[in-house]
């Protein structure tokens, strides 16, 4: 198969992961990049010799259309950039996580790509690393009994920008299980922004699957980890054991009846980066004409949890799934933790029968 020509919109951290993957892969010919900041274009030119640079994606699409476009800007511009890219005679598209700044925009992006039956990549790199993939497989095989709880401790990042990777892992771990609801509290004392979004300083997100499996995620600027780990700790608790691993690091610790003292397992890593793996899997799909939307769909479900968490915190409510059927309820005139005056209605919580 001829190499697929490729371009990238957004030359920051995410865009560079795609640029490097495209430059290294024998399946692609990296042609052009757009970044609205000329200084970023000037930085990228010597790193990728022959790369054409633009400061406006419309100009790049007009002058230099490619088979594949990677949308690697901040989430609020993913929708307009993707919709413009879809006007090209594209053969495949990568849209960075989160698909968009809202689940509704993410759903529109996915629907427009599906309508063209276009192969798509969403580079959730826990799904392109051996450790998390092996953890999913072992949990499904029952290595820790029935899964009950996924605990995530994530330092320095937030629900939307890294948390979505972790929630996407949870969605893939529980497979087809429907989710019941999400609740969260976000405090914003440091007024932190990241990747074009206002985010929490500290948050706790609690998701419950209808089967009863819980995911509890603590994110934020200064979340202490209660294990020897930097970055992100995952702790999976089942009826017959426990697995711990760190986001994006090799190896996991499994403790179960066969390994009562716990054992470190370090699977051999894939020899390409996560972005390269996702892009090359998309190239396979282009070659065989068989788009596969399982990862994009799971990314949308994770985005629904992210938005649900922020809505829950903003409106003091439980956000139920399916998310597209949820509407924010009126805030109750009730303040948990305050004394009850004895009048004004309400439900008598001592009546345990309902
Ligand atoms: N999958 C991953 O592992 C991974 C890793 C890092 C970032 N990302 C994602 O990549 C996206 C970008 O984040 P980042 O970390 O690269 O941010 P960044 O701040 O490092 O870079 C974003 C770049 O995009 C440019 N840009 C923004 N809007 C643009 C527009 N409309 N047209 C042209 N250029 C534009 C900015 O000038 C900047 O250089 C986000 O969605 C983020 O979540 C994914």
For 12, the token pair is: 């920051």
Distance (Å, whole) CA 88 – CA 121: 17
Q: Which CATH architecture has domain 4-118?
A: 3-Layer(aba) Sandwich (3.40)
7, 10, 126: which to mutate for ligand 1, most atoms within 8 A of CB?
10
For residue 296, how far is its CA from the centre of ligand 1 (angstroms)? Answer: 18
42, 74, 85, 132: which to mutate for ligand 1, most atoms within 8 A of CB?
74
Instruction: List, chain by chain if needed, residues with CB within 6 Å of any ligand 1 atom.
Output: 9-15, 17, 34-37, 40, 57, 72-75, 77, 96-97, 123, 125, 161, 195
Residue-level length of the chain? 354
Give the atom of ligand 1 at the shortest distance from the alpha carbon of 161. 43
For residue 244, how far is its CA from the centre of ligand 1 (angstroms)? Answer: 30
For residue 138, how far is its CA from the centre of ligand 1 (angstroms)? Answer: 34
pLDDT score, position 231: 82
Q: How confident is the model at residue 115 (pLDDT cuts 50, 70, 90)?
A: very high
Reference 254, options 159, 158, 144, 125; nearest CA is 144
Q: How confident is the model at residue 354 (pLDDT cuts 50, 70, 90)?
A: low
Average pLDDT on 197-226 reads 95
What beta strand segments (E) does the chain contain?
A: 4-9, 28-34, 52-54, 68-71, 92-95, 120-121, 147-155, 179-187, 193-194, 197-198, 202-209, 214-220, 232-238, 241-246, 252-256, 259-265, 319-320
Residues of the chain with CATH 3.30.360.10: 124-327
Mean predicted lDDT score pLDDT of the chain = 96
124-327: CATH, from 1.10.3720.10, 3.40.50.2300, 3.30.360.10, 3.40.50.1820: 3.30.360.10
pLDDT at residue 353 greater than cutoff 80: no
Q: How confident is the model at residue 226 (pLDDT cuts 50, 70, 90)?
A: confident
pLDDT tens for 4-52 read: 999 999 999 999 999 999 999 999 999 999 999 999 999 999 999 999 9
Ligand 1 atom 18, closest CA: 12
For residue 9, how far is its CA from the centre of ligand 1 (angstroms)? Answer: 8
pLDDT score, position 228: 77
Task: Give, rounded to a whole angstrom, the gap between the first and last alpha carbons of the chain.
Answer: 65
Average pLDDT on 269-276 reads 96
For residue 77, how far is its CA from the centre of ligand 1 (angstroms)? Answer: 10
Distance (Å, whole) CA 307 – CA 324: 11
Distance (Å, whole) CA 96 – CA 100: 8
pLDDT at residue 261 greater than cutoff 90: yes
Q: How confident is the model at residue 196 (pLDDT cuts 50, 70, 90)?
A: confident
Give the atom of ligand 1 at the shortest distance from the alpha carbon of 10. 24
By CB atoms closer than 10 A (0-12, 13-18, 19+), residue 341 is exposed
Neighbours of 333 (CB within 10 A): 8
For 248, the token pair is: 């994006």
pLDDT tens for 290-323 read: 999 999 999 999 999 999 999 999 999 999 999 9
7, 9, 14: which to mutate for ligand 1, most atoms within 8 A of CB?
14
Ligand 1 atom 28, closest CA: 73
pLDDT score, position 224: 87
Average pLDDT on 139-144 reads 97
For residue 96, how far is its CA from the centre of ligand 1 (angstroms)? Answer: 8
Average pLDDT on 63-69 reads 98
For residue 332, how far is its CA from the centre of ligand 1 (angstroms)? Answer: 39
| Cut 0.85: pTM above it | yes
54 DSSP β-pair partners:
34
pLDDT at residue 249 greater than cutoff 90: no
Contacts of 124 (CB under 8 A, 6+ apart): 97, 165, 168, 169, 278, 295, 298, 299, 302
Residue found under tokens 């054991």 = 241
Distance (Å, whole) CA 78 – CA 88: 16
pLDDT at residue 203 greater than cutoff 90: yes
pLDDT at residue 87 greater than cutoff 80: yes
Bigger pLDDT: 341 vs 90 = 90
Q: How confident is the model at residue 161 (pLDDT cuts 50, 70, 90)?
A: very high
Range in 64-78, 119-133, 155-169, 335-349 with the lowest mean pLDDT: 335-349
For residue 161, how far is its CA from the centre of ligand 1 (angstroms)? Answer: 11
Give the atom of ligand 1 at the shortest distance from the alpha carbon of 16. 16
12, 32, 53: which to mutate for ligand 1, most atoms within 8 A of CB?
12
Residues of the chain with CATH 3.40.50.720: 4-118
């Amino acid at each position: 198969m001829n190499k697929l020509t490729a371009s990238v919109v957004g030359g920051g951290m995410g865009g560079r992961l795609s640029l490097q993957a495209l430059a290294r892969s024998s399946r692609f010919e990296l042609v052009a990049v757009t970044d609205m900041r000329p200084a970023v274009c000037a930085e990228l030119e010597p790193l990728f010799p022959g790369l054409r640079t633009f400061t406006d994606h419309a100009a790049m699409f007009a002058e230099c259309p490619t088979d594949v476009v990677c949308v690697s800007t901040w989430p609020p511009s993913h929708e307009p950039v993707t919709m413009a890219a879809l006007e090209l005679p594209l053969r495949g598209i990568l849209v960075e996580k989160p698909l968009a700044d809202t689940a509704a925009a993410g759903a529109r992006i996915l629907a427009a790509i599906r309508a063209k039956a276009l192969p798509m990549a969403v580079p959730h790199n826990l799904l392109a690393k051996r450790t998390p993939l092996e953890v999913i497989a072992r949990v499904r095989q029952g290595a820790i009994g029935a899964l009950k709880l996924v605990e995530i401790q994530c330092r320095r990042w937030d629900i939307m920008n890294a948390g979505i990777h972790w929630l996407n892992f949870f969605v893939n771990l529980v497979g087809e299980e429907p989710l019941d609801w999400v609740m969260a509290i976000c405090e914003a004392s440091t007024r932190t922004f990241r990747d074009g979004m206002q985010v929490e300083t500290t948050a706790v997100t609690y998701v419950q699957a209808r089967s009863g499996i819980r995911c509890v995620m603590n994110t934020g600027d200064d979340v202490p980890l209660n294990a020897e780990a930097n970055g992100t700790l995952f702790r999976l608790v089942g009826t017959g054991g426990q697995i711990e691993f760190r986001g994006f690091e090799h190896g996991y610790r499994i403790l179960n009846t066969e390994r009562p003292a716990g054992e470190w397992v370090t699977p051999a890593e894939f020899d390409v980066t996560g972005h390269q793996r996702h892009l090359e899997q998309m190239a396979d799909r282009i070659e065989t004409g068989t788009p596969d939307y399982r990862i994009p769909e799971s990314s949308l479900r994770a985005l629904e949890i992210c938005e649900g968490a922020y809505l829950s915190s903003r409106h003091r409510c439980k956000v139920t799934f399916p998310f597209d059927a949820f509407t924010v309820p009126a805030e109750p005139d009730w303040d948990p933790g305050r004394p009850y005056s004895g009048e004004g209605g309400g439900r008598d919580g001592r009546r345990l029968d309902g």
